[in-house]
C-alpha cells in the first residue's frame, strides 16, 4: 500500500484551522473527527472522511458533513475510544500514512486536551514515533519513543522544548544552545525554551516517552 500524508481536524479550538488547512489541502488526505468535520465542511467543497459520534453538531450540520465527506462513519456515543482515536485508527488502516497532523487538538475542553496529549501512550500512536504531530500556528508537538532522531528547525518557531511524559533515561541533545549528554530523569520533567544552534539538531534517549515541541510566542 502506498504511504500518504494525512491531516485530521479534531474538535478542539478551531481558531487556527482555516489558516493552516489550505497549506495541506493539496498534499494531504483530510479527515474530520466529530466537530472537526464540520469545520472542514465549511472550508472545502469535499474531503476524504468524517469520523465521530457527532453529538456536538445539529442534524442540519450533520447533513452538510455527509454531503462534503467522501466517507462518513457515525460512531455510537457510548464507546471505549475517543473520536480522535477512531479517526487516527481509520487514517492508519486506510492510508498507511507516513505522517499524521492533528489540527484543533489544543484549547477547548481541558479533558479533550489531556486526552490528546495522552495519545502518546496509545498503542497505535506508538508505532508512529516522530510521525504524528499536534499543530497550531504557534506550536508543533511530536511524540517519540526511545531511539535516535534528527529534527529540522521550523523557520517560524524560536523555541525547542523536551517534555518527558515519563521518566527518561540517557537523554542526549546536540546542536542546541543547551546540550545534554546521557542525562537521566527519574520523574517526568519539562525542559523548556531551548533553541536550535543551526537548522538541524539531534537527540536520543534509551527509555521513556518524550514530547518535543517547537513553538513561538503569540503576538501581543
Pick the CATH number of 5-136 from 3.30.420.40, 1.50.10.10, 3.30.70.2170, 3.40.50.10240: 3.40.50.10240
pLDDT in tens, 136-145: 989 999 999 9
What string of DSSP letters covers 161-200? EEEESS-EEEEEEESBSS-EEEEEESS--EEEEE-BSSSE
In the predicted structure, residue 47 carries a pLDDT above the cut 90: yes
Residue 22 has a pLDDT of: 86
Q: Helix H segments across the chain?
A: 17-24, 35-43, 59-68, 83-95, 110-117, 123-126
Residue 1 clears pLDDT 80, i.e. is over it: no
Residue located via cell numbers 516517552: 209
Average per-residue pLDDT for the chain: 91
Strand partners, 103: 9, 135
Question: Which superfamily does CATH assign the domain made up of 143-215 to?
Answer: Thiamin pyrophosphokinase, catalytic domain (3.40.50.10240)
Q: Please determine, for residue 2, whether its predicted confidence score (pLDDT) is greater than 70.
A: no
Please identify which residue in the block is written with the cell numbers 506550536. Answer: 139
Amino acid at each position: 500500500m502506498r504511504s500518504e500524508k494525512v491531516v485530521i481536524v479534531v474538535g478542539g479550538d478551531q481558531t487556527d484551522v482555516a489558516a493552516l488547512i489550505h497549506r495541506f489541502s493539496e498534499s494531504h488526505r483530510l479527515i474530520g473527527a466529530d466537530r472537526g468535520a464540520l469545520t472542514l465542511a465549511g472550508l472545502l467543497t469535499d474531503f476524504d472522511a468524517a469520523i465521530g459520534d457527532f453529538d456536538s453538531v445539529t442534524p442540519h450540520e450533520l447533513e452538510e458533513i455527509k454531503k462534503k465527506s467522501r466517507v462518513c462513519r457515525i460512531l455510537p456515543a457510548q464507546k471505549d475510544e475517543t473520536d480522535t482515536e477512531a479517526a487516527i485508527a481509520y487514517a492508519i488502516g486506510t492510508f498507511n500514512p507516513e505522517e499524521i497532523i492533528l489540527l484543533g487538538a489544543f484549547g477547548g475542553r481541558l479533558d479533550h486536551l489531556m486526552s490528546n496529549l495522552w495519545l502518546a501512550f496509545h498503542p497505535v500512536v506508538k508505532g508512529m514515533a516522530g510521525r504524528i504531530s499536534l499543530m497550531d500556528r504557534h506550536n508543533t508537538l511530536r511524540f517519540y519513543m526511545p531511539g535516535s532522531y534528527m529534527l529540522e528547525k521550523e523557520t517560524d518557531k524560536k523555541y525547542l522544548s523536551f517534555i518527558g511524559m515519563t521518566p527518561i533515561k540517557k537523554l542526549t541533545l546536540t546542536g542546541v544552545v543547551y546540550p545534554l549528554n546521557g542525562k537521566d530523569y527519574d520523574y517526568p520533567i519539562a525542559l523548556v525554551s531551548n533553541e536550535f544552534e543551526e537548522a538541524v539538531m539531534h537527540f536520543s534517549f534509551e527509555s521513556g516517552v518524550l514530547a518535543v515541541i517547537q513553538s513561538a510566542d503569540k503576538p501581543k
